Structure 1
Amino acid sequence: MLYRFAHKTGVYGVSIVEEQDNQVLVQIEQVIKHPKQGDLHNPKATDNVFFHERKALSQFEKRYTTSSQLKELDVEPLPYVESLQLAINNLEERLQQKQDEHARRSLENLQILKNDYFIQYKEKFK
């Protein structure tokens, strides 16, 4: 069974690997929402900040969380790479509508990340 798990600014479909007391070890199975780019402490800022390049958590990567952080999966389960492509496309569409400096720099980061994902998953990202 898959669950919805928010981690930083990304959202993922996860499966439970192990439960101990109040800790749950989850494994990333799909990407629902790609992480935002830039400085999390200064959203939308581009001047005098370190503009972070934020990758999605990798397929099969594991994270500890609590059961209260897991929600019912409310999207269609997809293979990881297909879900990553969809999440990137959704983020790019939102950024292209904004046409500001933050959106422009975020789109540049996503192009770099697509190349990284190609190397990692051996699949071209549009």
Structure 2
Amino acid sequence: MTVGSFKAGDQVTAFYKTGKYIGEITDASRPQSYLVRVLAVEKHPMQGDLHNPKEADVLMFHQRKALAFREQTNVPKNMVKPYSGDIPSYGQSLQEAVARAIQELEGKEDRWSKKSLESLRELEKEYSANQ
């Protein structure tokens, strides 16, 4: 399977905003994007303002959650890649992704890292409570 030749039911990785997900194509008929159903999280989205990445002093510092299990989203075709292998459980993959994001930020002293770490720790609690 090559990039750009996906069909409904194919397993893929998809980059959406700043997160990376494992999912399946549910609609391949769109000219610019695929509709992807999320089945697992590989990389938790970055926190903050998407238009000012890694900036802490922005009008609104957004808490960015991962896409939900079975949530569908349009992903540009160039951001979709084939996936093979076992798909981990959504809950476990989400916990691991947020833990990796937290680990990457721990010990950093810049304002963006501190604000992101605070936001991710809140999300970690929320995710655990919903499992």
Q: Smaller-chain TM-score range?
A: 0.7 to 0.9
Structure 2 length-normalised TM? 0.80
Q: Distance in 1 between matches of 2:49 and 2:122?
A: 17
Partner of 1:43: 53
Contact kept, 8 Å, 1:4 with 1:74, in 2: the verdict is no
Unaligned runs of 5+ in 1: none
Contact kept, 8 Å, 1:13 with 1:73, in 2: the verdict is yes
Partner of 2:17: 8
Partner of 1:102: 112
Residues matched between the structures, number: 121
User: Of Structure 1 and Structure 2, which has the larger fraction of its residues in helix?
Assistant: 1
Partner of 2:93: 83
Further displaced range: 19-28 or 102-111? 19-28
Partner of 2:6: none
Percent identity over the alignment is 35
Q: 1:87 to 1:74 in 2, by over 3 A?
A: farther
Partner of 2:29: 20
Q: 1:72 to 1:49 in 2, by over 3 A?
A: same
Further displaced range: 14-23 or 45-54? 14-23
* 2:28 counterpart SS class: strand
* 1:38 counterpart SS class: coil
Could you tell me how far 1:50 is from its partner in structure 2?
1.2
